[in-house]
Amino acid sequence: MSEIVLEVKDLTVIKNGHLILNKVSFAVETGDTLAVIGPNGAGKTTLFRAILNLIPYTGSVSWRKNIKISYVPQKLYVGNELPLTTLEFLSLKDKNFENIKNSLFSVGLNDKGVYTDNFEKHILQSRLGDLSGGELQRVLIAWSLLGSPNVLLFDEPTSGVDIVGEETVYTMLDKLKKEHNLTILLISHELDVVEKHTSKVLCLNKENICYGPPGKVMSKEVIDRLFGEEVHLYKHHQHHH
């Protein structure tokens, strides 16, 4: 019997008199990967901010007791002038070098899990601003793994990563989930990836449009209703139906 990690009931967010989220309800169980999908402006990031208790809302958000949540932001704008190296950045969260090394190994940046000269020079001593988009994203995921969280929240795990790297991010999340016993919530607009890599999907456009296993709930009608005018952007998706 899976345990409920998060239960959300009638979550409503009003900002400056505008209804941003309207009575959204869903539940997440241990080991789920839940994708929140929807058009721009549908309230996906607002939903994350509400369940993290960063903004006011009405309705109820109940997390399992003593849960440790880690949030991976959509983009971290890292200027080249920021003098932080990967090692310094990760040390802000955990001083233990073994833990840092292991977290980088988990995300595939230290492929042998050993301390090589190349790893030292290229990743650890590099400034964050000098890493490639894919490397930086992996460093952020490594950061999120420090402190052994139970739940990872991802806002668009592949934005800013070239398409070739896309599959690898999701494949990596699958691997991390097993290795670290994680429950994952992610915001995505990559419908084909969502179908492959998630156990539940919440279609959101200010309110629940669908919720459940992607194979069951993501019909062409739902996608049309969800994305409306934008649906031509998602044409590549329709051959799945």
Q: Write down the pLDDT at residue 238.
A: 46
Q: Write down the pLDDT at residue 162.
A: 58
Q: Write down the pLDDT at residue 118.
A: 67
Residue with the larger pLDDT of the pair 166 and 46: 46
Q: Which of 142, 182, 169 is nearest to 34 (CA)?
A: 182
Q: How far apart are CA 209 and CA 201, in angstroms?
A: 10
Q: Which of 179, 203, 90 is nearest to 142 (CA)?
A: 90
- Which of 106, 125, 148 is where one domain is finished? 148
Could you read off the pLDDT of 55-85 as tens digits, one per residue? 999 999 999 999 999 988 766 666 666 788 9
Q: How far apart are CA 138 and CA 184, in angstroms?
A: 16
Domain count across the chain: 2
Residues 10 and 98 in one domain: no
pTM of the model as a whole: 0.84
Residues 6 and 118 in one domain: no
Percentage of residues in the chain with pLDDT exceeding 70? 82
- Which of 148, 167, 187 is where one domain is finished? 148
Torsion sign (Cα): 236, 239, 240, 241: positive
> How many CA atoms lie less than 13 Å away from 180 in the CB half-sphere?
27
Residues 99 and 58 in one domain: no
Residue 233 has pLDDT above 60, yes or no: no
Q: What mean pLDDT comes out for the span 179-184?
A: 93
- Residue ranges making up the domain that contains 118: 77-148
Residues 153 and 64 in one domain: yes
Average pLDDT over all residues of the chain: 85
Q: Write down the pLDDT at residue 164.
A: 60
Residues 84 and 198 in one domain: no
| pLDDT confidence bin for 7, thresholds 50/70/90 | very high
Q: Write down the pLDDT at residue 88.
A: 94
Residue with the larger pLDDT of the pair 133 and 3: 3
